[in-house]
């Protein structure tokens, strides 16, 4: 069955929400490895770029999953579809650092409009 055409276009996001609420943020490309000694994650990489995105700080939230209560992020980001964003990248905004957890494309009515990104605060950067 073909997707329902809702009459929504990528320009709707770009010209309205993005144009009104986007702000400049710093994105740092990071690579995650696991320490062979301690088992803790190690993030490496220093490539910085200034990007524009809609940032919403909401505090840590939870939702129910099969395994019980699951953390669902400290902040939320929305960016244009063509903005490169990868799991484990870091976002710096207002002197706070956040790690990208999930990158979810939003496709209302079959039209790829933007990416929704769930962020977790990095306590020890």
Contact between 79 and 21 under an 8 Å Cβ cutoff? The reply is no
Please give the CATH architecture assigned to the domain spanning 10-121. Answer: Beta Barrel (2.40)
Question: Quick one: tokens of 104?
Answer: 């979810």
Count the neighbouring beta carbons within 10 Å of the beta carbon of residue 124: 4
Tens of pLDDT along 5-62? 666 777 878 888 888 999 999 999 988 888 888 888 888 887 899 999 999 987 766 6
Residue % of the chain over a pLDDT of 70:
87
Write the DSSP symbol of residue 17. Answer: I
Give the mean model confidence (pLDDT) for residues 69-86: 86
Tens of pLDDT along 108-122? 777 788 999 999 999
More confident residue, 71 or 50: 50
Q: Is 28 exposed, middle or buried (0-12, 13-18, 19+ CB in 10 A)?
A: middle
Q: Is 119 exposed, middle or buried (0-12, 13-18, 19+ CB in 10 A)?
A: buried
pLDDT at 41: 83
pLDDT at 2: 63
């Amino acid at each position: 069955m073909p997707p329902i055409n809702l009459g929504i276009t990528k320009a709707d996001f770009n010209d309205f929400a993005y144009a009104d609420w986007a702000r400049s943020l710093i994105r740092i490309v990071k690579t995650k490895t696991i320490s062979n000694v301690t088992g803790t994650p190690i993030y490496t990489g220093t490539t910085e770029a200034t990007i524009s995105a809609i940032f919403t700080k909401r505090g840590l939230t939870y939702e129910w999953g099969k395994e019980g209560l699951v953390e669902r992020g400290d902040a939320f980001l929305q960016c244009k579809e063509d903005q490169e964003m990868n799991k484990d990248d870091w976002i710096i905004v207002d002197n706070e650092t956040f790690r990208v957890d999930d990158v979810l494309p939003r496709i209302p009515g079959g039209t790829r409009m933007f990416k929704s990104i769930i962020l977790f605060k990095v306590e020890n950067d």
